[in-house]
């Protein structure tokens, strides 16, 4: 099954959801050799890296559970790299997981703050 359309829709929904909360979206799909981050945002003074987990239905694992230990380590390195590259050493950073469930007409969001 091709999941790209689902993933893409999920990310769009997540971005607009966060904007509604007053967040500023700094980057979408930040990529480097080390990997990629779905969204880089600013919430107040804190830079928040967001992994969007789109799901087409309920009844499966919680969205944050699909971030494995190995992926966590990779993300940590990626985030450190981003901070250094963007002169963000002196601001708070956080990593959130935003679950988006697309089962019904109205998408449901599940926001896990400080997942790393």
Under rule CB under 8 A, how many of the chain's residues touch another protein? 13
Among 34, 86, 94, 111, binds another protein (CB under 8 A): 94
CB 11 within 8 A of CB 55: no
Retrieve residue 15's tokens. Answer: 């971005």
Task: Provide the token pair at 8.
Answer: 């893409």
Structure tokens at 9: 């829709």
Six token digits for residue 63: 């969205």
* Shortest Å distance, C-beta 47 to another protein: 9
Contact 98, 21 (CB under 8 A): no
Q: Is 82 in the site for another protein (CB under 8 A)?
A: no
Question: Between 34 and 73, how does the x/- string for binding to another protein read (CB under 8 A)?
Answer: ----------------------------------------
Nearer to another protein, 16 or 91 (CB): 91
């Amino acid at each position: 099954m091709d999941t790209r359309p689902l993933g893409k829709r999920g990310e769009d929904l997540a971005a607009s959801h966060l904007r509604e909360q007053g967040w500023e979206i700094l980057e979408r799909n930040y990529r480097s050799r080390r990997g990629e981050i779905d969204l880089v945002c600013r919430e107040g003074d804190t830079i928040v890296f967001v992994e969007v987990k789109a799901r087409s239905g309920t009844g499966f694992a919680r969205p944050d559970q699909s971030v494995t230990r190995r992926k966590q380590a990779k993300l940590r390195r990626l985030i450190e790299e981003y901070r250094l590259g963007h002169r963000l050493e002196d601001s708070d950073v956080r990593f959130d997981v935003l679950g988006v469930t697309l089962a019904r007409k109205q998408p449901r969001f599940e926001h896990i703050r400080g997942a790393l």
